């Protein structure tokens, strides 16, 4: 076995926890290789931030991000730990910049010539793996030395401190972009009511012509029709907020009949983390938030290694409207980790409704906060009559570990989100039906 083969074998032994995971990684690498020239074509037509992404992808296919295993250089050289940390962190920064550009191009509809998003998933996988090693190295050199190296590689911006200026300002219902072009808001309303976005636009514009201002006309449209359709509510819990360095450790989703207010085919899943991350441990903050400990996920297969776990989620989402609270979070983690998700999203087979945006657009509250706990509490999803179990996909029932606040577990949060959104939109429809003003601002 030559040196390159030995290094790759060592790398594969670290980048995946199981034989299944190693096979999945190699399959993903081959799939990414098959799209190299497609990315080069996209790079040539788009340019800008994505320039250089193809050469970066080729480099990572031949020379993965991780440079060492537990402080021992993969190439056998004797390298100081601080230099290994500097080199690894530098690679991570560069990789994350290219990943950001590639995902932006994908989401903005510029990627039709690229067959699949395997390159994005591969680079995300490598980034998470290299981050695990960087955290191990940081522990060896100490937090102060690690912080100094990070500042040298990527200087952080100096944050300015702003003094409090009294009571919080009301949250605008629409952003400047949405005011200029409300098409995404029209889609949101249409998907919640089982309508065509063009019909929503026509009704909004009709009221504007009759003298109603744009914002009130849009908010009114949320109440003109009852909610309808079966949507998929989903929530992910992770080891942190960075898709390029954190793991999905808990997921819950359910089908929810908006007209009937009934959940069904619920699923809850727990996933593992790498062996190296197990040794580092899930942070105290995440455990305090979710109740999930390192022991809870120890020995389980990480989500990105488990093709069946990914297929299960895609089966639930494909061809449906996906609802999540602050949906960019779930979208980002699924694009980076779930086979077929980015492709279904680009092709329009998965459509997304963000319940946080629904609240910001149409809810009465303007300054009371739009986190899930705030939203669920205001809209009676956490009242004494809250559901304590939901029908599962296998014909049984899943007991919900739901108290009187947001639980930060996938299925529990997905369920209170769907119930809160239905309650809130039904209240708007009731106002419309009774001839009351739909839009009401409450501070």
CATH code, residues 230-434 = 3.30.420.10
Give 13's Cβ-side CA count (13 Å radius): 10
Q: What angle do CA 271, 274, 275 make, to 5 degrees?
A: 120
- Give the start-to-end residue ranges of the domains of the chain: 3-152, 176-223, 230-434
| Sequence-distant (≥ 6) Cβ neighbours of residue 311 within 8 angstroms | 339, 340
| Predicted confidence (pLDDT) at residue 439 exceeds the cutoff of 80 | yes
CA 24 to chain centre: 21
Band of the pLDDT at 5, cuts 50, 70, 90?
low
| Predicted confidence (pLDDT) at residue 84 exceeds the cutoff of 60 | yes
Mean per-residue pLDDT for 349-368?
95
pLDDT tens digit string along 161-202? 555 556 677 889 999 999 999 999 999 999 999 999 999 999
User: Percent of the chain beyond pLDDT 90?
Assistant: 83
| Sequence-distant (≥ 6) Cβ neighbours of residue 164 within 8 angstroms | none
Task: Name 231's bridge partners.
Answer: 256
Mean per-residue pLDDT for 79-105?
96
pLDDT tens digit string along 301-332? 999 999 999 999 999 999 999 999 999 999 99
Mean residue pLDDT across the chain: 92
Q: So what's the pLDDT on residue 164?
A: 53
What's 160's DSSP letter? P
Q: How far apart are CA 8 and CA 4, in angstroms?
A: 6
pTM of the model: 0.94
Mean per-residue pLDDT for 125-140?
96
Q: How far apart are CA 382 and CA 385, in angstroms?
A: 8
**Residue keyed to tokens 């190699």:** 26
Band of the pLDDT at 388, cuts 50, 70, 90?
confident
Q: So what's the pLDDT on residue 166?
A: 62
Q: Structure tokens of 272?
A: 């593992």
Helices 327-337 and 355-362, axial angle in degrees (round to 10): 160
pLDDT tens digit string along 209-228? 999 999 999 999 999 999 99
| Predicted confidence (pLDDT) at residue 160 exceeds the cutoff of 60 | no
Mean per-residue pLDDT for 241-249?
96
């Amino acid at each position: 076995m030559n040196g390159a083969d030995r290094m790759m074998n060592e790398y594969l032994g670290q980048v995946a926890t199981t034989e299944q995971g190693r096979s999945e990684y190699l399959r993903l690498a081959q799939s990414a290789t098959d799209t190299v020239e497609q990315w080069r074509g996209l790079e040539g037509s788009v340019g800008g931030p994505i320039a250089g992404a193809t050469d970066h992808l080729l480099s990572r296919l031949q020379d993965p991000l991780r440079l060492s295993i537990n402080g021992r250089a993969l190439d056998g050289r004797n390298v100081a730990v601080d230099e290994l940390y500097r080199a690894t962190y530098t690679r991570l920064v560069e990789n994350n910049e290219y990943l950001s550009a590639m995902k932006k191009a994908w989401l903005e509809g510029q990627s039709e010539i690229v067959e699949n998003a395997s390159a994005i998933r591969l680079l995300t996988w490598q980034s998470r793996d290299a981050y695990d090693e960087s955290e191990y190295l940081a522990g060896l050199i100490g937090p102060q030395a690690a912080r100094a190296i990070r500042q040298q590689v990527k200087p952080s911006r100096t944050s300015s401190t702003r003094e409090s200026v009294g009571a919080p300002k009301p949250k605008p219902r629409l952003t400047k972009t949405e005011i200029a072009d409300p098409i995404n808001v029209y889609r949101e309303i249409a998907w919640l009511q089982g309508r065509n976005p063009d019909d929503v636009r026509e009704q909004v514009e009709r009221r504007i012509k009759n003298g109603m201002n744009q914002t009130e006309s849009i908010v009114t449209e949320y109440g003109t029709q009852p909610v309808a359709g079966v949507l998929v509510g989903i929530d992910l819990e992770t080891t942190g907020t960075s898709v390029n360095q954190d793991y999905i450790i808990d997921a819950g989703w359910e089908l929810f009949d908006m007209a009937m207010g009934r959940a069904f085919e619920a699923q809850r899943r727990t996933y593992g983390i790498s062996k190296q991350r197990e040794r580092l441990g899930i942070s105290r903050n995440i455990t305090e938030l979710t109740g999930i400990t390192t022991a809870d996920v120890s020995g389980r297969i990480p989500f990105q290694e488990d093709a069946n776990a990914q297929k299960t989620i895609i089966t639930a989402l494909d061809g449906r409207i996906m609802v999540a609270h602050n949906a960019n979070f779930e979208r980002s983690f699924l694009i980076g980790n779930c086979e077929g998700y980015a492709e279904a999203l680009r092709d329009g087979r998965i459509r997304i409704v963000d319940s946080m945006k629904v609240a910001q657009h149409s809810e009465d509250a303007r300054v009371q906060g739009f986190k899930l706990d705030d939203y669920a509490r205001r809209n009676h999803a956490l009242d004494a009559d809250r559901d304590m179990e939901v029908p599962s996909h296998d014909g049984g029932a899943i007991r919900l570990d739901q108290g009187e606040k947001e639980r930060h577990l996938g299925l529990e949060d997905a369920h209170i989100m769907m119930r809160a959104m239905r309650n809130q939109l039904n209240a708007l429809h009731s106002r419309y039906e009774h001839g009351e003003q739909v839009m009401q601002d409450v501070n």
